[in-house]
Amino acid sequence: MASSLDFYDAEDYLYWTDNEAGTITRIKRDMTQREIVIQGLDSIEGFSIDWIAGNMYWIDATFGVIEVSHLNGSNRYVVVSGSMSKPRNLVVHPYQGVMFWCDWEVPPKIEIAALDGSQRQIFINSSLQLVQDLAIDFEEDKLYWTDARTHTIERINLDGSRREVIISHDVLEKPVSIAVYGDDIYWTEMLKSGGAIFKASKRKEDTISLVQGNLGDSLRDLIIYHKRNSSETNPCYRRCNEGVCENTGKCGSNLCLFQGNGSYTCACSHGELTEDGHSCKPFDAFIMFSRVLKIDSINMFDENNPNAPYPSISNKVHMRNVIGLSFDYEGKRLFYSDIQRGTINSVNFNGENHTVIIEKQGSVEGLAYDPIHRDLYWTSHSDSSLSRINLATENSRPEVVIHLGPDDKPRGIDIDSCA
C-alpha cells in the first residue's frame, strides 16, 4: 500500500513508500522502469526528496531514525537518531538545507535540523495535537501542517515567526495530507464529501473548493507534480541521468548533505571520512557478528554512530544458519560456518565474493584464523574434532588436529599464532 509520495521531475520519476512491504519504489510517469530502490525497512512514516543533491530522506519509526540515500538507494546513511518517540511525516527544504518532521510524543512537537542532521532543535512544541502532514511553501518560505485533532491547517514562517491558523475547525473535519503549489494549498479530507481533495487560496479562506470527492477512506499522501527549480550554486548539486547521478562534485560518489548558507557535509554510508573531509576510508577496527541469515557490523569506538562500518552481508545460497566467525584482516575477508549447509565459507568485508572453502563438516561452531601460517582452524560439534586447512596452498586438504572423545562437544576456539 502506497503511503508517502514524492517525485523527481528531472527524470520523470515518481517515488512511493510501502509501509507494509517495507519498501521504497520508483517508476517513470509512463509506467516503465519500475524498481524497488530500498527494501527491508520496518516502519516508514515519512518521505521527502532533495531534488538538487539527488538524495531521498525517510523516517524509520521502529528504530527512531531519519535516513538518507542517493535516489537509486545507494549510500544509505542515518542522519538523525535518538530522542524520537513517535516520529511522523518529513519534508526537506533543499534551498535552505533544512528538514522538518513531527513527533507524536506528549507533548507533540515539530523539529528542525540541517540536512546532515546537525543543528537539531525543537521548532514548535505548543498547541499541537495530531499533526498529520507537513508541507513547505518554497516561494514564501513557510511551513504548513494539518492537525486532525484540532481540525485546522496552520502555517508559520521558517524563522519561527507569525504562526497562524489559515483554515479552521469550522470548515475542516479530518484533514490529512497537504501540498502547496503557486497561490493555492491542497489537502485531503478523510470524512468530508466521501473522502475528498480540496483546495483554497493561500490568502483567502473563503475560496475553498472541491477538487474531487467520493474517493473513499483510503486516501493517504498528496503531492503536486510539477517542474522544480534546481540551484547549480548549491554545492551539493548533482545531475542525474537514467536513475544514475554523476559522481563528480564536492563529495564525489559519497553523500553531499547541504547545511545552508553555502555549507555542506560529506557523509560516508560505511567507513569514515578521510582528513580532507570529502573521501571515505574503512575503519581500522570494528565488531562483526552473525545473525543466522546475515552478518552485521557495528562501531567499536563511537557508540553514537548508528551507521555500520560495512553493509549487512547476506546470501540466500550460502547463508542459512551462520554461526562461527573469523577474519583475515590483510585480505579484508571474513570466514564463516553454516551449520545447516555444513560448510565453511569466506566473503569479503564488503559482502562480495562468497566462496565455499570446504563442505561436509557438520556442525562447525568455532573458527580461528592464523594470519602468519594462513591456517584456518575449526571445531566440529558433530564428530568431536578440531581441524585445520592451509589457505596458502592450492588444493590443500583439511586435517584433523585433535580428535576428542565421543562425549566431548567442542564449540569455541582461538589460537596464539606466536606461541
Can you spell out the DSSP letters for 170-184? TT-SSEEEEEEETTE
Q: Model confidence at 233, in pLDDT bands (50, 70, 90)?
A: confident
pLDDT computed for residue 260 by the predictor: 92
- Per-residue burial over 168-204, b = 16 or more CB atoms within 10 Å of its CB, e = otherwise: eeebbebbbbbbbbeebbbbbbbebeebbbbbbebee
Q: Model confidence at 274, in pLDDT bands (50, 70, 90)?
A: very high
End-to-end CA distance of the chain: 60
- Cα(103)–Cα(46) distance, integer angstroms: 11
User: Among 212, 245, 263, which residue terminates a domain?
Assistant: 212
CA distances to 10, 228, 236 from 7, rounded to whole Å, are 9, 10, 18
pLDDT computed for residue 164 by the predictor: 95
Q: Which of 98-102, 202-206, 384-388, 409-413 has the lowest mean pLDDT?
A: 202-206
Residue 120 has pLDDT above 80, yes or no: yes
For residues 196 and 335, membership in a common domain is answered with no
Region 329-340: what's the mean pLDDT? 94
Q: Where are the beta strands (DSSP E) in 104-169?
A: 109-114, 121-124, 131-137, 142-147, 152-157, 164-167
Region 307-324: what's the mean pLDDT? 93
Query: Does a structural domain hold residue 412?
Result: no
User: Among 212, 242, 276, which residue terminates a domain?
Assistant: 212
Query: Does a structural domain hold residue 201?
Result: yes
- Cα(376)–Cα(392) distance, integer angstroms: 10
Q: Model confidence at 94, in pLDDT bands (50, 70, 90)?
A: very high
pLDDT computed for residue 158 by the predictor: 96
For residues 129 and 42, membership in a common domain is answered with yes
CA distances to 125, 150, 291, 413 from 157, rounded to whole Å, are 15, 20, 47, 63
Structural domain count, the chain: 2
For residues 182 and 47, membership in a common domain is answered with yes
How are beta strands 209-212 and 240-241 bridged, if at all? unpaired
- Cα(366)–Cα(94) distance, integer angstroms: 50
pLDDT computed for residue 402 by the predictor: 92
Closest to 71 measured CA to CA, from 95, 43, 51: 51
For residues 79 and 169, membership in a common domain is answered with yes
Query: Does a structural domain hold residue 415?
Result: no
User: Among 147, 182, 212, which residue terminates a domain?
Assistant: 212
* Residue indicated by cell numbers 581441524: 387
Residue 249 has pLDDT above 80, yes or no: no
For residues 206 and 305, membership in a common domain is answered with no
* Residue indicated by cell numbers 522502469: 33
Number of helices followed by number of strands (H, E) in the chain: 0, 37
How are beta strands 343-348 and 355-358 bridged, if at all? antiparallel
pLDDT computed for residue 419 by the predictor: 65
Region 18-30: what's the mean pLDDT? 94
Residue 174 has pLDDT above 80, yes or no: yes
Q: What is the tens place of the pLDDT at every residue in 335-375? A: 999 999 999 999 999 999 999 999 999 899 999 999 999 99
Residue 248 has pLDDT above 70, yes or no: no
Contacts of 388 (CB under 8 A, 6+ apart): 375, 376, 377, 378, 398, 399, 401
Query: Does a structural domain hold residue 268?
Result: no
Closest to 388 measured CA to CA, from 398, 373, 374: 398
For residues 192 and 329, membership in a common domain is answered with no
Residue 2 has pLDDT above 90, yes or no: no
Query: Does a structural domain hold residue 111?
Result: yes
* % residues pLDDT > 90 (the chain): 75
Query: Does a structural domain hold residue 54?
Result: yes
For residues 295 and 200, membership in a common domain is answered with no
For residues 34 and 130, membership in a common domain is answered with yes
Which residues constitute the domain of residue 71?
2-212
- The conformation of residue 105, written as its DSSP 8-state character, comes to S
Q: What is the tens place of the pLDDT at every residue in 131-150? A: 999 999 999 999 999 999 99
- Cα(345)–Cα(90) distance, integer angstroms: 42
* Residue indicated by cell numbers 547541504: 258
For residues 20 and 118, membership in a common domain is answered with yes
Query: Does a structural domain hold residue 318?
Result: yes
pLDDT computed for residue 244 by the predictor: 66
CATH classification of the domain holding 308: 2.120.10.30
For residues 193 and 301, membership in a common domain is answered with no
For residues 165 and 292, membership in a common domain is answered with no
CA distances to 102, 248, 335, 387, 401 from 384, rounded to whole Å, are 57, 56, 21, 10, 11
For residues 164 and 22, membership in a common domain is answered with yes
Query: Does a structural domain hold residue 64?
Result: yes
Closest to 323 measured CA to CA, from 290, 356, 345, 297: 290
